[in-house]
Structure 1
Amino acid sequence: MTTIGIVTGAGRGMGLECARRQLGAVDRLLLVDLDAGTLATAADELATSAHGTVVEPFVLDITDREGLAQLAARARELGTLRAVAHAAGISPTMADWRRILTVDLVGTALLAEALRPLVTEGTAMVCFASMAARFGAGEPRPDIEAVLADPLDEHFLDRLREAVGPEIEDTGVAYSWAKRGVQRLVQREAVRVGGVGARVCSVSPGVVGTPQGRQEAAQHPSMKRLVDQSALGREGRPEELAAVAAFLLSDQASFLTGVDILVDGGVIAGLAARRS
């Protein structure tokens, strides 16, 4: 049996580190990213230390249904789907509110839908959410949660704006709701695929020293304050997030599914301590 791994957002940052951790864990690894140049560089780098894993780049926009169908077909052609690390996404300074929700939440739902027919006993998937879902989206509200539960509805963005209000057009707010939607999606997906012995979890990073993270920090000085007031008092490293994702994808985590793992260096703990 040839085992297949898929890593999205694999061109750099946390996605690249997640891909690195899958070398030797699967027989063939599909590296997915929108940027063909960055992806080619990552594939060349990983191929030099592949530990027996065959590395294959796959250029794809995660919101492209047809492209996702081709990705699923390629994975099926190659072997048995074993591990999926979905790190592709954009942050508040990179697009408007609609694009953020489309890439970060709708894209995640589309990926899960495309790969669902391939999952089998032992398949594991990790989706990247964010600590922002814990405090940036406000208190849970049934009307908003009902909309978030169906991100593939053709009127999803309009329905969410109606439920949340005009503040959803703030890209930071949109990002927080998108990542909360990812956490909720993981819970539902875990139930859908659990019957065949597959697992789905999410990881919620804090402030991490990636190019994307540094871009956000440059625009939002409040992020440095969060880091300074966190339990560890430092930002995370991409490889630290990848290590958690690798554990969740491994057989060692065989009884973990439908949960979100907060990996924030104690930011949320710091916020709680200041409130007490």
Structure 2
Amino acid sequence: MMLLDGKAVLVTGASAGIGRAAAIGAARHGADVAINFLGGAEAAAACVVEIEALGRKAVAIEGDVADPTTATDFVARATAALGRVDVFVNNAGICPFHAFLDMPVETFERTMRVNLHGAYFMVQAAANQMVRQGGGGAIVAVSSISALVGGEYQTHYTPTKAGVHSLMQSTAIALGRYGIRCNSVLPGTILTDINKDDLADIAKRKRMAARVPLGRLGEPDDLAGPIIFLASDLARYVTGAALLVDGGAFVNLQ
């Protein structure tokens, strides 16, 4: 079943990790895809090549989501390339691990600008395009299990992911009248560039995996299915929801 056949899907932070998995997964389900990226032009180009090999249109557009003008530029250029916006996946995010008591102001503010401010303006730009063209749409934001739990070295990060989750709840109300659904996925620990340094400690990696009922840490492709489901008509009556994708880690408190 091609769950996104003929749809135009936009994904931020899609040159690697969860964003890349979501972009390629959408193409496998029949979508044309526009990806946003910052740096890593070769990785972005490789993602485009893989999407095109599936017989779908693809375009890569560079831009820093921390700059509000990137949002309108990305949506406008993606719309010009693909014709419309049916699905928007807000994925771009950073997590430079740091202790709380000496958190540099610039680290805190950069994390806020990328993860939360970037999500706000990107979602706003995509929603405006969906409203202009009519026909509704779907917005899926990549939040985190960190929206629900704390992290000693993530005091700057966890509030942004809680904010992204809250943003989807509020935009679900604001945009429902236009037929636009807004949901979030909450990944557990996923093996991506965002945590590769932290998980370079093999003992820590094994300890974290042992806490997951399914017995392993997540991989980017583990998020593709849930994102595509929420973007598809299979979830046509789902909005304002949050889907944990964590291998059961959150419920394993014993």
TM over 0.5: yes
Q: 1:43 aligned to 2:48?
A: yes
Written as runs of structure 1 = structure 2, the 5 A alignment for 1:243-262 is 243-262=225-244
Residue 172 (structure 1) shift: 0.6
The answer as to whether partners of 2:51 and 2:57 remain within 8 angstroms in 1 is no
Distance 1:125 1:216 in 2: 30
The answer as to whether partners of 2:188 and 2:249 remain within 8 angstroms in 1 is yes
Residue 122 (structure 1) shift: 3.7
Partner of residue 4, structure 1: 8
The answer as to whether partners of 1:63 and 1:110 remain within 8 angstroms in 2 is no
Residue 59 (structure 1) shift: 0.7
Residue 58 (structure 1) shift: 0.6
Q: 1:125 aligned to 2:136?
A: no
Distance 1:239 1:43 in 2: 17
Distance 1:223 1:192, change over 3 A: farther
Q: 1:191 aligned to 2:173?
A: yes
Tell me the secondary structure at the aligned position of residue 80 of structure 1. Answer: coil
The answer as to whether partners of 2:90 and 2:123 remain within 8 angstroms in 1 is no
Distance 1:69 1:174 in 2: 26
Query: Which 5+ residue runs of structure 1 have no aligned equivalent?
Result: 138-169
Distance 1:129 1:216, change over 3 A: farther
The answer as to whether partners of 1:5 and 1:26 remain within 8 angstroms in 2 is no
Partner of residue 214, structure 1: 196
Distance 1:54 1:21, change over 3 A: same
Structure with the higher fraction of residues in helix conformation: 1
Partner of residue 34, structure 1: 38
Mean Cα displacement is larger for which, 78-87 or 182-191? 78-87
Partner of residue 209, structure 2: 227
Q: 1:69 aligned to 2:66?
A: no
Q: 1:116 aligned to 2:147?
A: no
Distance 1:27 1:229 in 2: 36
Distance 2:202 2:110 in 1: 20
The answer as to whether partners of 1:101 and 1:178 remain within 8 angstroms in 2 is yes
Distance 1:219 1:177, change over 3 A: farther
Distance 1:103 1:18, change over 3 A: same
Distance 2:28 2:225 in 1: 14
Residue 110 (structure 1) shift: 1.1
The answer as to whether partners of 2:32 and 2:58 remain within 8 angstroms in 1 is yes
The answer as to whether partners of 1:201 and 1:248 remain within 8 angstroms in 2 is yes
Residue 61 (structure 1) shift: 0.8
Tell me the secondary structure at the aligned position of residue 178 of structure 2. Answer: coil
Residue 190 (structure 1) shift: 0.9
CA distances 1:27-58 after superposition (whole Å, capped 9, x unpaired): 53111111223212221232222x3x211111
Distance 2:111 2:206 in 1: 23
Tell me the secondary structure at the aligned position of residue 114 of structure 1. Answer: helix
Distance 2:138 2:201 in 1: 35
Which AA in structure 1 matches 2:129? L
Q: Percent identity?
A: 30
Query: Which 5+ residue runs of structure 2 have no aligned equivalent?
Result: 1-5, 99-105
CA distances 1:94-147 after superposition (whole Å, capped 9, x unpaired): 98222112111111001012122112434111111110111117xxxxxxxxxx
